[in-house]
């Protein structure tokens, strides 16, 4: 399925999704699982950096996440600042996104209260699960 369009009135400030006609590759993905996923016993979370070209406000992110059919069907998305090339302080979220796709890679959208970002500075979109409670048993990619 092609990438979804940004909501009306929003301007794309960064993307690593390729062209509108490019499909997401579900078979070449990072694993994502919570600490209570039975097969591993430790969490694996995913973060992708982005660098806006100019001062902007982020209020929506789209992430290609696939539910692996085990654990609670939800993932948390957040925006973090950069700390020496890794996710740092939480700036927005986490937003819990349920009902993820199970057979096709489509965009999972999270909406945030607008957070200011500085042009040329690196930030991170983080996909993770709670460390405890509902959702800490998620498994997906």
Could you tell me which of 31, 30, 26, 41 has the C-alpha nearest to residue 137?
Answer: 41
Instruction: Print pLDDT tens along the chain (141 aa).
Output: 334 445 666 677 766 665 554 456 666 677 877 888 876 667 878 899 999 999 999 999 988 888 888 889 999 999 999 999 999 999 999 999 999 888 776 778 899 999 999 999 999 999 999 888 888 888 888
The encoded tokens of residue 39 equal 């097969």
Whole-number pLDDT of residue 1? 35
Whole-number pLDDT of residue 9? 66
Of the options 3.40.50.920, 3.20.20.80, 3.40.50.300, 2.60.120.820, the CATH number for the domain spanning 32-140: 2.60.120.820
Whole-number pLDDT of residue 3? 40
Q: Considering Cα of 81, then 84, then 87, then 90, what sign does the dihedral take? A: negative
Which of the 8 DSSP states describes residue 120? T
User: What is the full DSSP assignment across 68-101?
Assistant: EEES-SEEEEEEEEESSSSEEEEEEEEEEEES--
The encoded tokens of residue 125 equal 């979109």
Whole-number pLDDT of residue 4? 45
Phi/psi of residue 69, nearest 5 degrees: 85, 5
Sketch the domain layout of the chain as residue ranges.
Answer: 32-140
Whole-number pLDDT of residue 125? 94
């Amino acid at each position: 399925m092609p990438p979804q369009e940004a909501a009306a009135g929003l301007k794309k400030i960064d993307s690593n999704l390729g062209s509108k006609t490019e499909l997401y590759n579900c078979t070449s993905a990072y694993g994502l699982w919570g600490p209570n996923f039975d097969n591993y016993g430790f969490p694996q979370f995913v973060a992708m950096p982005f660098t806006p070209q100019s001062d902007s406000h982020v209020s929506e992110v789209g992430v290609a996440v696939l539910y692996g059919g085990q654990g609670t069907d939800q993932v948390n998305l957040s925006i973090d600042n950069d700390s020496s090339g890794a996710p740092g302080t939480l700036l927005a979220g986490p937003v819990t996104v349920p009902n993820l796709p199970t057979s096709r890679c489509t965009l999972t959208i999270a909406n945030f209260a607008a957070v200011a970002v500085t042009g040329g500075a690196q930030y991170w979109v983080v996909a993770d699960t709670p460390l405890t409670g509902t959702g800490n048993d998620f498994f997906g990619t």
